[in-house]
Amino acid sequence: MSNEAYRNGNMNWGEMYLGFVDFLRTHLLDGTFDEEREALLGPQITKLKHYRNPDLSRDGSPLYLVSEAVIDWCVKHKSLLPYPKSHP
């Protein structure tokens, strides 16, 4: 998601993008992190839904904070998660 935002300003995203945001919300707010971090992440994930006007300010931006959380989540969950075909 970050790559697309920085390289193309999310020009290639459509409605399917919202499914990716929902996928992130489901897994990043699954209890892996403490309540404080989840309270911080929730609004940042919501901001990603505004994909036509991404915040590209880097450090502290929603893309930055969510990307860091994805890395931390993956370190704690060693198995890959399949993305269900039923998602857009």
Q: Is residue 84 part of a domain?
A: no
pLDDT at 88: 52
Counted domains in the chain? 1
Residue with tokens 């403490």: 34
Euclidean distance between the first and the last CA atom of the chain, given in angstroms as a whole number? 15
Q: Catalogue the E-assigned strands of 1-86.
A: none
Q: How far is CA 77 from CA 18, 30, 80, 85, in A?
A: 23, 12, 8, 21
Q: Which domain holds residue 32?
A: 2-76
Its pTM stands at 0.82
Q: Of 64, 67, 24, 30, give the one whose Cα is nearest residue 46.
A: 24
Q: Is residue 82 part of a domain?
A: no
pLDDT at 87: 53
Output the tens digit of pLDDT for each of the chain's 88 residues.
Answer: 888 888 888 888 777 788 889 999 999 999 999 999 999 999 999 999 888 888 888 888 999 999 999 999 999 998 877 766 665 5
pLDDT at 4: 84
Q: Is residue 8 part of a domain?
A: yes
pLDDT at 83: 67
Q: Is residue 70 part of a domain?
A: yes
